[in-house]
Amino acid sequence: MLETKNKIYDCESCLFKIISCQFLNTEEFELIRRTSTQMRYDKGETILRQGEKSQNLLFLHKGIVKFNYKNEADKNFIMTIVKGPKLLGGANLFFKDTNIFSVIAVEDCELCLIDSRAVKSILLKHGNYMLMMSEQTVDMFSASIFNFISLAHKQVNGRIADILLYLNDFVYKDSGFEFTLSRKEIAEFAACSHENVINTLSRFNKEGVIKLEGKKISITDYPKLKEISRLG
């Protein structure tokens, strides 16, 4: 983790400011800006830790993060994967000040820590701004909800197909992408064993649904992968 003295991003062109200033005047946004800190996190670093108090929202400018949940049996699950630019951390703004999940950098990330107390003071005056922040939070967690529906109703083939489609459509946005997720992390995302992931990816590769080249994966038969997902 590195707090930068030199600004990573010009606040004037920041997407968070552009969105916020549709609802706020310059002075109101300045209160948020003054309480924000630009940070860099290396791959594997924990940005927010499950169970700890947090007074910050996150705006992810660049990079990919995972939302981890560890249950009482110390088993780890990946709830969702998110790519910047994206507003994160809404749960501790609207529900409680204790982190529900850990947020961990999947690759090197650049983000702003935004003081949630400053944001709350502004939200009390602007209902439309509160609605926008609520929508951002719901959007962020919707992927987690659909992932758990997949886990509850699908076999391993369907789960891994869903994950490949999600990574293709919403994270890497490319039919040929290089995994920054390890096979272990895919297993935690799909709630299956590491061996299940290796065997399923190998079978998809042999059947011509995907093509594996080291860490790079290409979806070569998108309709077939969608069909595997549908059948579960």
pLDDT tens digits, the chain, 232 residues: what are they?
A: 665 545 666 777 788 888 888 888 888 888 888 888 899 999 999 998 988 887 888 889 999 999 998 988 888 888 888 888 888 865 555 556 778 889 999 999 999 888 888 888 888 788 888 787 777 777 666 766 766 677 777 899 999 999 999 888 888 887 777 778 888 898 998 888 999 999 999 999 999 999 998 888 899 999 999 999 988 7
Measured distance CA(35)–CA(58) in Å, rounded: 12
User: ∠ at Cα 92 (1, 35), nearest 5°?
Assistant: 55
Domain parsing of the chain, residue ranges: 2-151, 154-231
**Separation between Cα atoms, residue 145 and residue 197, nearest integer Å:** 21
DSSP 143-184: HHHHHHHHHHH--HHHHHHHHHHHIIIIIS-SSEEE--S-HH
Q: How many CB atoms lie within 10 A of CB 15?
A: 14
Instruction: Provide the pLDDT for residue 164.
Output: 92
- pLDDT for 15 equals 82
pLDDT, residue 76, reads: 87
Residue-level pLDDT at 34: 87
- Strand, helix or coil at 41? strand
- What is the per-residue pLDDT for 211? 92
CATH number for the domain formed by residue range(s) 154-231? 1.10.10.10
Domains 2-151 and 154-231 share a fold: no
**Second CATH level (architecture) for the domain 2-151:** Sandwich (2.60)
Residue type, 222: Y
Helix ranges, 37-181 (H): 91-94, 116-123, 127-153, 156-166
User: And the tokens for 176?
Assistant: 């040929």
Q: How far is CA 198 from CA 74, 77, 87, 171, 212, in A?
A: 23, 18, 33, 21, 11
Tokens matching residue 173? 């946005």
By the 10 Å C-beta count (0-12 exposed, 13-18 middle, 19+ buried), 178 is classed as exposed
pTM for the structure as a whole = 0.81
- Supply 164's token pair: 């490949």
pLDDT at 35: 85
Residue 228: per-residue pLDDT? 94
